[in-house]
Structure 1
């Protein structure tokens, strides 16, 4: 059967992921190989001190991404998209979308990037004896209560971005367990009952007419699946052209952490992955419960409900991208312009020629705050020792190190205090597109082998398409077994081991990075 036949007969799977800078659609065939895609670029805005996207941003972006997919399919295969065997929605995790009884948004979407819930996160962490990060939905809700915000009394439901888009398309308020675990702690396949009771018992919470358990979305694991289907109104919303038919089965919506685990075959105990784009985070599936809790480490779950130690950093490639664009601009001034791909290739690979400790140059990529290293507010910055050579290689190596430094700081705690040692780490996302550069630097940083698969650039949209396929095909198999058999059998991958000089260079770099954090904090508060 040709790819055209598969698409025409509705046997392809679709994954759509809302990333921080791009909404991406990935269409896969029966062999789970990507055959077409679409995308839409967008940017969050800082409005009244809050990082946000509007409802119009979300809907227009969804429609434009799907329209781009339709065009790609038409150009490649000469056919119109009308239906799929299964589909799913994923998005950047956490954040806060609160709705009234008419499903109207009560306040602008508060994204994961905000660092405005410190008081609530600290109180809930102490109450639960469990780390509640600032970006988690429950921290945003409780902070709104502490702030005395008017909208809280009118809340009928709240959700993540993936859950909201899933609701728009299917009418169902539900989440995959991985995304749900970033709203409120989970245990035994659902929200933690003891912690729900503790939250419910808070005097400031008792003042409202709602119950926390009633306003959270329902929880489903990937194995449990979903009964949700694309509604008539959802089909019209997604595809205003009217060609898309209702009735497509959906899997539970997931966060970008869950799709990253699926896209890197890292859902089995002892495996790990690093997703690196606008933000960077590592996910290591725990083989045993953690003994302590740390503000730098979240405990979330795989799409099938296994505990995961997550180190989530708000910043990664954003500052890097600005510098690359500046060099592209310079190339145009010389009369010898280079394209974007060439610029990344040249600058990244040349960074390998830099000193392993970056020659005394240190970069803070903090476009926004970075709680993992104690920065409430962010401003990008760099410093160097007065006697630094300040070569281009040293400078750009420092920029690449800076993109991973907070991640290393968090994982050092996990490895040293909890004795966690992953059997494998797989990298994916835009940072790894230039072969062998960020991959080697990450291996040196974590002192662990790091693999990158041939699908590293496909990212979360492909991972979401895999979860959609699992939702249809699962027959009593675990997600880990199904992924290995169906998606990753024979998958091409490259593995790099840590370099002793690189690892030593990282240690010196982190000494300088840590020593300068007080200055970075002061600079961020200006």
Structure 2
């Protein structure tokens, strides 16, 4: 095995994916079988400067160079050779946000990340204008808000892009975005796989009285789809990526993508009628649609797969934080009575209790709103547990209620898609910590959505691996081969998967729970208002 890998490294048959997440930058190098052979990561944190969440240009490059260096050292230690040639490279990053440059390629204002909730007026006006949901974090909302605020820099914009688009541009000289990433900048026309021209015209008309020297199409990047060649690593780019100077120029780069797209690839959920749910601190479901939605829903964001198919996203700010806090409390109790139980065993034991519970959680109710929850229109949250005097209060029901409520806000968004829009789903791929205890989080989610839920062995590999797979697809695809086929046949064919189908009792129980959840939102509202 290692001889083959060594040969692949020497002959430049590897692919590198780098993803800039909100707390970690990760580089993953894969071999010809698409399995990871080396990785490196760099931890970073955003800064809050002048009321803006940002990362500096210096931090961006320091982080990329450090994660690349660690990955390259890993190759050297493991295989005794230097990494000089790479078959393909791809970059992804957290989506949206705002990076605007002048004609001298200078950044006009510090990078505004997706975390900034400073574009409410712009997002509301554009949603109305386009009749298309424009969330606050989208790049076009940031641009229009800067216009509404009459910021001086707007007239000087020559190029506007995202974090992934910026890194790609500096390494190749090409101003491009993958369509999935682009779909969080400005709405995509799924027929042309480009920015929606009609909406661009509407935007240009909207701001025409301000007499800027640019039109929107002049300043936005070009949109590419998965499999396209999006430029090559320049001499300058190679030195920027590998400060030791060992990496040679000339490597093709695939279109830069967003973290939503790489998550779909890493969970093999880019085909129509599939979706994936990522459940951790927050929960979001992404569903690949067969047709447009009938109307605009503020609870549902629309983005695309890396191939340009429409994806509906139901995102909730809160998922497992409150559940984890309760398990921490049980952990303190076991220590207090002199028992030494490791956290994995504690989670496994408590999660499995939920399988013995009443299907609706025995009349108990909780909200894990550690922060505000936009899905149910809360600016702030208060974690809350409440019951009737005649509820069936036992450990099993307590655990099941906390697992159900972790998916509660997200289910409200998913119900819009499944019940109101009639979206058909063959399966959902689950990934994230809540699925670690086999079968439990899965069966609760299958009951919530009434859809089979599958968990894969590699679900932990994450977005950097998903990005490397997009590079591999560009490099190795046959003429008419689609990304869905490539993933099914060349990447996930031998994967061990575990699928849980919805149990009708669980489905009915979750429906009873969600009715209680909706009625109880007034209690949560009172807690927010009165517990200051």
| TM-score, scaled relative to structure 2 | 0.88
Ranges in structure 2 where 5+ consecutive residues have no aligned partner: none
Matches within 5 A, 1:20-419: 20-187=22-189, 188-203=192-207, 206-223=210-227, 225-317=228-320, 344-346=347-349, 348-352=351-355, 356-358=359-361, 360-367=364-371, 369-375=372-378, 377-379=379-381, 381-385=383-387, 387=389, 397-419=400-422
> What is the SS of the residue equivalent to 2:458?
coil
Distance 1:283-1:513 versus aligned 2 partners, 3 A rule: same
In structure 2, what is the Cα distance between the partners aligned to 1:103 and 1:511? 54
1:23-56 Cα shifts (integer Å, max 9, x gaps): 2222221011122222233334555554433334
1:261-293 Cα shifts (integer Å, max 9, x gaps): 222222222222223345432222222222222
The Cα shift of 1:198 comes to 0.3
The Cα shift of 1:345 comes to 4.3
Distance 1:475-1:137 versus aligned 2 partners, 3 A rule: same
8 A Cα contact 1:354 1:394, kept in partner: yes
Match of 1:496 in 2: 500
In structure 2, what is the Cα distance between the partners aligned to 1:132 and 1:466? 29
In structure 2, what is the Cα distance between the partners aligned to 1:13 and 1:155? 34
343-352 vs 258-267, which moves further: 343-352
In structure 1, what is the Cα distance between the partners aligned to 2:477 and 2:296? 34
1:312-348 Cα shifts (integer Å, max 9, x gaps): 3344455656666677788788887666655654554
Match of 2:424 in 1: 421
In structure 2, what is the Cα distance between the partners aligned to 1:79 and 1:346? 46
- Between the two proteins, the alignment pairs up a number of residues equal to 523
In structure 2, what is the Cα distance between the partners aligned to 1:61 and 1:273? 29
471-480 vs 203-212, which moves further: 203-212
Kindly indicate whether residue 480 of structure 2 is the aligned counterpart of residue 487 of structure 1. Answer: no
The Cα shift of 1:472 comes to 1.0
The Cα shift of 1:434 comes to 3.5
The Cα shift of 1:390 comes to 6.9
The Cα shift of 1:303 comes to 1.0
The Cα shift of 1:21 comes to 2.9
In structure 2, what is the Cα distance between the partners aligned to 1:45 and 1:520? 31
Q: CA RMSD in A?
A: 3.0
In structure 2, what is the Cα distance between the partners aligned to 1:56 and 1:399? 42
The Cα shift of 1:215 comes to 1.4
In structure 1, what is the Cα distance between the partners aligned to 2:173 and 2:328? 42
The Cα shift of 1:415 comes to 0.9
1:130-184 Cα shifts (integer Å, max 9, x gaps): 2212221111221222233333333222222221222233232211011101110
> What is the SS of the residue equivalent to 1:507?
helix
8 A Cα contact 2:367 2:524, kept in partner: no
The Cα shift of 1:461 comes to 1.6
8 A Cα contact 1:282 1:312, kept in partner: yes
In structure 2, what is the Cα distance between the partners aligned to 1:7 and 1:396? 48
In structure 2, what is the Cα distance between the partners aligned to 1:103 and 1:34? 35
167-176 vs 514-523, which moves further: 514-523
> What is the SS of the residue equivalent to 2:122?
helix
8 A Cα contact 1:50 1:110, kept in partner: yes
1:172-227 Cα shifts (integer Å, max 9, x gaps): 2211011101110111111111000001111477343321111111100113x124
Distance 1:156-1:340 versus aligned 2 partners, 3 A rule: farther
The Cα shift of 1:463 comes to 1.3
In structure 2, what is the Cα distance between the partners aligned to 1:35 and 1:450? 29
Distance 1:80-1:341 versus aligned 2 partners, 3 A rule: farther
